[in-house]
Structure formats: structure tokens, C-alpha cells
Structure 1
Amino acid sequence: MSALSVFLDTPTAIPGENGKLRAAFGMDRQPGKVFLWGDEYLGEDGECFVHPVIRKVILQVVNDPTMTTRYLPPLGLSEFTRSATELALGKGSPAIVQNRTGGVQTLGGIGAVRVGAELLKHWYNEGGSRPWVVYVPAQCDEAVVSTLQETKIKDIHSYPYWDPEKRCLALEEMLHFLESVPEQSIIVLYTSAHCPTGADPTLDQWKQIADVMMRHRLFPFFLLPSQGLCSGDPNEDAASLRYFVSVGFELICAQSFSQNFGLYNERVGNLILVLKDSPTFLSVQSQAEKVVQTLWFRPPCWGARLVTIILNNPALVVEWKEGLRAIAERTMLMREMLKEKLRMLSIPGSWDHLSQQSGLYCCTGLRDDEVEFLVRKQHVYLPSSGNINISTLNHQIVDYVAETIYLAVTKEDPFHKPSTIHL
């Protein structure tokens, strides 16, 4: 046999920006380095937060004598998909009442994006004469974009979302753009907790978006990454999705339970299908089952069981919602603290936008050169877009981060002397 590997010509994969950022942070030997990105919610101690109600239910399940390790069906744990769909749409949703909606258990929210994209690629507008196109926000989680690309969808474009000059949602530009896209195009929308800017439309603005999409027959592909973490109220965070269903849209929604339940490594997701009638829903769901069988065959049970137990126990739901409110309040507190620190340092420009966003993510509005200065000179790591995970801030480092932002923007030391802050 040849001494050379059959994989000799395999190139090394190039990591995305997030991967490069984390690798650079890991190689940095500076004791006071700070990492302001990531997908997990971190507590005040800087560690990944484990919800107390999750700890309680884990002990309950471990000691349950009826626990089994049997395979789940390809569509997943039926009690989980029912409860998850009801959480997103509301138990009184017309789609649920009319038996034209349901879920497919997936490997996290990204798994739901993949299954949804496969369904759209193979079955959306079947027999139609117009080729369809997918539009994603110009600022979008790179994992969502790369997952769509992996399905070999050729026409993936972006639409205006964030206005870097005004530092707010670019609503007028978005609406104008949606007026111009081809009919039957697919529009990827965050119901709330937009990643990576943290800027979400108000319900009145969502109604304007829905009106344009209805008139132009555009198809909504919703992302529901962390229901409840923006406002502390799961119902409020799903209001946009529920409105679209109430006015008659067919849609799909990729729902994740990683952030709002803290089940990051369990990969618990649900793909919600909302169709015009029950027979159509059952047909599309059957195709989703085939897709699942080619991707991961059967989903895991553990995380889905934990979510199901909580959502079907009123007392546990109360505990879970109390935890969500505490997280939402802490993230808003850190936004306010950062804004106030920047104001006290008299950094040029307005920083009011920081407290007008919600959820884990925050668009600071820093320019590329300012971010580069933070990374290279101050060992403060964040993406070139200037977005941060607001939960990475805590009382220990917020002063330091504010002072380094001052240096980045003004290139002057706020105290006219070398920084003496050590973490």
C-alpha cells in the first residue's frame, strides 16, 4: 500500500470569525484579558449559568425508575414537541386549535434551521415557475448562514437590518427592501433576541413588516433562539411569531432551548411547522421525518425530557419564569452600567442605544479600527462588528471595559496615566 494518506490533498478548513477570535483569546497570555463574545449566558461569576430548576429536575429524572434509554421516534419526543410548540404559539393559537401545526425535535436551533432549509429546498413552491430566494438579515449569526449554505441553496442574500450611523434598527430601509424582493422569497426573521445586534422591532413595527410580506407573498422563516431572555416573559418574546400566525401566514420556526433553559450541550431544538390545513401539515411533517433520518436518525432524549417536565408542571414553570426574569434584569443592568460608565468618561457620541437593545447580544457601534485597537492593544476580545455578549460583563470588569473603550475611541488615557487595572 502507498505510504501516503488518501486524504493527502485535504486542505485545512478555515475557521469563521468567531472561531478565530476564540483561538486568539486562548493563545493570549495576558493575565487581564477579557472575552466579550460567546453564545452562553454567563452569571456574575463569569461562569456558564445553570438554572436552579434544571438542577432540581435532573435529580428527579435520575431517580425515576421508569426512565428508559430506548430510541425516540425520528420526529422526537411527542410530549416535548407539543409543549414546545404551545410555548411558542400559545395554547390557544388558531393553528393549534385547527390541527395544522406541530413540531419536529431537532439537535438545537441550528438543527432546526437545517431541517427547515431542507424542506424548503425540496418542497417549497413545488411546480411553481418562479425560483425562490432566501434573504437573511445583513447582521446574522454566522452559524445560521453557514447552515443554509450547506444545504446548497444558491440564492442567499441579505437585507438591511442595522443602521450603523443611527445605531438602531434600520426599519425603513428594511421595509423598502422587502417591497422590492421577488414574490415567494423566503425571509429569515428573528422573533426576538436578534443575534448579534440585540435590536428587535416593536410589535407595531412587526405589523408593518407583516403587511409588506403579506402583500408580496413572502414566506417567514422565524428564528426563536432564546424565548423569555429579552423581556423575562416568554409570551412577550414570541409576540411577533404569534401575530404572523394570527393573520394567516404559513411559516416555519427554528426554536432553541439552549439559552433559556441553559441546556447548551444537550442540543434541544424544535422545528415548528405552521401550514394552511391539517393534511398539508401532515405531509410536510412526513417529509421532515425523512430528512431527520438522513441527518441524525433519532434525536436524543435527555434534554427534551427535562424541558417537557418543566413545561408541564405549573410550579416548575413559575420557577423557570422567575429565573428568566432575573436573567433579563441582570442583562439590562449591565447595559445600563456600561452606558453610565461611558457617559461618565465623556466618550464622544451617544450610547443610549445600549439600553434600547435586549437579550444577550449588544451592538456597541464601535468601528473596525476601534475594535482592532481593543483586541491588539487592550486584550479585550470582541468581533470586528463591535457586537458583544452583554452577560460577559460583570461588576468586576465593567470599569475596565469602559476605560478601554474610551482609549479605543479617543486614543487617550482617561486618567492620563498607564492603566493600573488588574483582573
Structure 2
Amino acid sequence: MTVLTVAPVPPDEIFALTRAYNNDDYPQKVNLSAGVYRTNDGEPWPLPVVQEAEKQLREDNNIFRHEYTAIEGDIAFLPLARDLMFGFDSQASSEKDAATKARIGTVQTVAGTGANHLGAIFLARHMKPRTVWLSNPSWANHLTIWELAGVPRKTYPYYSAATRSFDFRGMMSTLESEAEEGDVVLLHACAHNPTGLDPSKEQWKSIIDLCERKSLFPFFDSAYQGFASGSADEDAWAVRYVLNEKPQMEMCVAQSFSKNFGLYGQRVGAFHYVLNDGAQDLRDTVVVNLCHLIRGEYSMGPTAGCSIVKKVLTSPELTAQWYDDLKTMSSRIISMRQALYDELVRLGTPGTWKHIIEQNGMFSYTGLTPLQVYALKDKYHIYLLKSGRASISGLSPKNVTYVARAIDKVVRNFN
């Protein structure tokens, strides 16, 4: 008789915390664990532009809306995703743009997670890197994805606990001395998860120069384009710098539409492989091999969410409205960072808290210890990751004072 041998694995921390939060009946409970946007009332916010797109799609009543698409995804969606990521203007395409676009192979994926996974198994099979370098810390799922791809993982320093800042010197020193030719370096395009700390443009240039000089392969994870700063162009700066200023470098990009369109459950994403200039003839071969992997996993990306994105990005009016919605989300998160910081300063909470307003994007690496995090959960029903990562979108004018006072109390108790 065949006996299944399987060992337990630890539950996903974020989903476990969300489940605990949902089962908590305390009236002042606060969820700072889930990476989803919330309004000032703590409610989900279907973007107004998404609701308008859904309305138009219902009116269109496209009889083909439930049909199969191509293995590489919705054919009309692919160039829209590419152009948004890399900054091409579909209304003013030049010969140079056409040559650059020919370097990029694009397929639709099951959101950003699927794009990361597809990229990892594609590189594991065809590039066979000895190591993938992940930031320490990084999004926990990066560890799982590359483990499942069978690529050995190492980490480069990213966060300085002493200063609560980006450890640029540590990152550069480690990659310079230890990374080897052909290694993959996983880079967060903007709004680093979980720290909220991003390199400056000058630091990005140094990081990319190092990758070029040592023949390291950059793998960008772009989960927050437009959501972090309110500008889709600003949040794609590092990716576009490599494309336009380093034409002899290859790279790939995992692109998610979960945060910037609020399509968390629709699973809309894309994976882009960028060939070096002169290797355009290989693009179709790259796409065919990506499709081979897609076919064996999920056959093609889901259509409902990408139809919404497609409707928005093909309408100048809806695109303009989307940009306004991005500003609404990013500005609310910035205001909540400021409110939390101001209240902690007003309370005289021990320690320094300026990092909260120096970080950007959805998350803040608060600097709270696991014991302090557990105390926040057990005594005050405030849920955040044991690393101290807090989702700023869970703050609102209604709870930020309560959260700040709870942090003040636990910090004082553990000082």
C-alpha cells in the first residue's frame, strides 16, 4: 500500500491574522495586517473608475466575455499592460519605441503572485541561476515561490533596525562581495514590502550599475505602480531606467493590478521578459516557452478583471479618472502616516517615529518587537505582523488615536 508522507507547514501569517480578526467581536478591533486598501470608514473601496468600467462592460454585453482567450492571455490586454509598465505612449509610437517594444515578451498571469511564480520557474528552467538574492526582509511569499522553483535563496541586507532606514551600504557590499555572475536579484520596483523604504534614484542607478558590471539578473516585482506615490510614471522609474539606459541588460518584471485597481480578488497580472537590444528575434521563443509553462498550470489568465483594466486603459476619460483614484488612495495613506506620527509625538512615545512618514506605500516597518505586537493583539485587539509590519491603510481618523495610544502603552511597558 502506498503511504502518503507529508509534513505540516506553518499557516500563512497574514491570512491567519485576518481570520482571527474576523472572529474577534471586540468593537474597537483594528486590522493592520492585510495588504488591502480601506476607506476612512474601514470599508473596501471599489474604485469609482472600476465601477464605471463594470457598468460599461454590462452595457456592452459582449457575448464572447466567457470564452477562452489565448494561452498568453487576452491579446488586447497585453500591450496595455506593457505600455503602462514601461511608459510607452500608444498615441505617439516612434520607430525607436517599436524596436524597444520588440525586446519585450509579455504574457498574462494570475496576478502578481502568478507573475512572480511564472518568472521563477521560467528562470529556473532556462537560466538555471545558482542563487536568487532576496532582500532581508522581503515579502514572505517570495521565499515560498523561489523555494518551490528549486532555486537556492540568499539574502542581502535591506533594513537597518538601528536607524529604521534602508541599508543601502549593506546591500551593495553584500552583492558586491558575494553575488556571482548569473545570479538573480529580486528587486521591489517601489513601495518595498514590508519596510516601505525605497532606494533614491541615485541609489537605484548604483544598484543597476552593480548588476550590469557583475552580470546579475534583475527581477523586478511591481505590485504598487501608481498606488505608492499616486504617479504610475514615478513608481516605474527604476524599471524604465533599466529598459532605456541599459539596453544590453536583460531583466524581467512581475506586474500586479491588485492594488492600483483594487482588483484583489480578480487576479490580474502580467509577466514581462526584457531581452537585450539585438536579441529581438528571441522574443517569440521566450513567449512560446512561457506559454508552455502556463498551459501546464492554468491554461490562460482569467478574463473578468483584465476586461476591466482593458476598458479603463483604452478610454482617455477613464484613464484620467483612474489617475485621480490613485491620488485619492495614495494621499489618504500619506495622511494616515502623518496622523499616526503626530499622535505618537504628541504622546511623547519613547523612541523615534519619523521613519513612519519617511516610508511610503501601503506598509510601515514600525520597529515594534514581537512581544509588543503580541501585546497589541492580546490587550488592544490591534492586529499586525510579528515583524512589526503594519498596513497603514487599516488606519483611519476613527481609530488612529486609539492605535497610537495603544502603541504608546506597550512601548512604555516593554521599555
In the aligned structure 2, how far is the partner of 1:30 from the partner of 1:9?
41
| 2:169 corresponds to 1:166 | no
Aligned to 1:384: 386
TM-score by length of 1: 0.91
Q: CA deviation at 1:119?
A: 0.9
What one-letter code is carried by the residue in structure 1 that aligns with 2:357?
S
Shift of 1:20: 3.1
**Is 2:15 the counterpart of 1:19?**
yes
Q: Distance in 2 between matches of 1:322 and 1:189?
A: 27
Q: Is the 8 A contact 1:95 1:245 kept in 2?
A: no
What are the equivalent positions in structure 2 for 1:342-421 lying under 5 Å apart?
Answer: 342-411=344-413
Corresponding residue SS for 1:234 = coil
Provide the residue aligned with 2:295 in structure 1. 293
Q: In the alignment, what sits opposite 1:244? A: 242
CA distance in 1, matches of 2:405, 2:97: 51
Aligned length: 402
Q: Does 1:118 align with 2:124?
A: no
* 1:337-396, Cα deviation, whole Å (9 max, x unpaired): 000000000012221111111111111111222212212222211111111110100011
Indicate which of 173, 178, 188 corresponds to 2:175.
Answer: 178
The answer to whether the Cα contact below 8 Å between 2:108 and 2:300 also exists between their aligned partners in 1 is no
Compute the displacement of 1:133 (Å).
0.7
Structure 2: any 5+ residue segments left out of the alignment?
A: none
Corresponding letter in the other structure for 1:394: S
Q: Are the counterparts in 1 of residues 109 and 300 from structure 2 also a CA contact under 8 Å? A: no
- Whether the 8 Å CA contact 1:61–1:67 is kept in 2: the answer is no
Question: Amino acid of the residue matched to residue 211 of structure 1?
Answer: D
User: Could you say which residue in structure 1 is the equivalent of 2:256?
Assistant: 256
Alignment correspondent of 1:199: 197
Task: Pick one of 127, 130, 133 that aligns with 1:132.
Answer: 130
Distance 1:363 1:241 in 2: 24
2:29 match = 33
Structure 2 counterpart of 1:91, which letter?
A: F
The 3-state SS of whatever aligns with 2:254 is: strand
Question: Cα distance 1:8–1:293, how it changes in 2: closer, same or farther (>3 A)?
Answer: closer
Q: Which amino acid aligns with 1:385?
A: S
Cross-structure match for 2:232 = 234
Aligned-partner Cα distance in 2 for 1:312–1:334 = 33
TM-aligned CA deviation for residue 13 of structure 1 = 4.5
1:83-162 correspondence runs (5 A): 83-91=80-88, 97-98=99-100, 99-124=102-127, 132-153=130-151, 155-162=152-159
Q: Which residue in 1 is equivalent to 2:71?
A: 74
Once the two structures are superposed, what CA deviation does each residue of 1:382-414 show, in whole Å capped at 9, x if it has no partner?
A: 1111111101000110000000100111029xx
Q: Is the 8 A contact 1:95 1:101 kept in 2?
A: no
Q: Pick which of 96-105 and 235-244 moved more.
A: 96-105
Distance 2:410 2:355 in 1: 18
Matched residue SS, 2:162: coil
Residues 144-191 of structure 1 show CA distances to partners (whole Å, capped at 9, x for unaligned) of 2212212222x1111111111101111110011110211211000011
Q: Give SS of 2:181's match.
A: coil
Cα RMSD after superposing both structures:
1.9
Rate the CA distance shift 1:391–1:96 in 2: closer, same or farther, 3 A: farther
User: Residues 187 and 218 of structure 2 are in contact (CA less than 8 Å); yes or no, is this contact kept in structure 1?
Assistant: yes
Q: Does 1:274 align with 2:271?
A: no
3-state secondary structure, aligned to 1:136: strand
Give the TM-score normalised by the residue count of structure 2.
Answer: 0.93
Distance 1:234 1:204 in 2: 19
Identity %: 33
- Deviation digits for residues 126-156 of structure 1 (CA, Å, limit 9, x no counterpart): xxxxx52101111111122212212222x11
Q: Which letter does structure 1 place at the counterpart of 2:16? A: K
Gaps of 5+ in 1: 126-130, 413-423
1:45 aligned onto 2:41: yes
- 359-368 or 23-32, which deviates more: 23-32
Q: Which moved more, 1:58-67 or 1:105-114?
A: 58-67
Q: For 1:71 and 1:224, how far apart are their aligned partners in 2? A: 27
Q: Which residue of 1 aligns with 2:58?
A: 62
Worse-superposed segment, 138-147 or 323-332:
138-147
Q: Distance in 1 between matches of 2:288 and 2:327?
A: 37
- Is residue 76–residue 299 contact of structure 1 (8 Å, CA) maintained in 2? yes
Match of 1:80, as an amino acid?
F
Q: What SS does the corresponding residue of 1:270 show, helix, strand or coil?
A: strand
Distance 1:299 1:7 in 2: 35
Q: Is the contact made by 2:88 and 2:97 (CA closer than 8 Å) also made in structure 1?
A: no
3-state secondary structure, aligned to 2:134:
strand
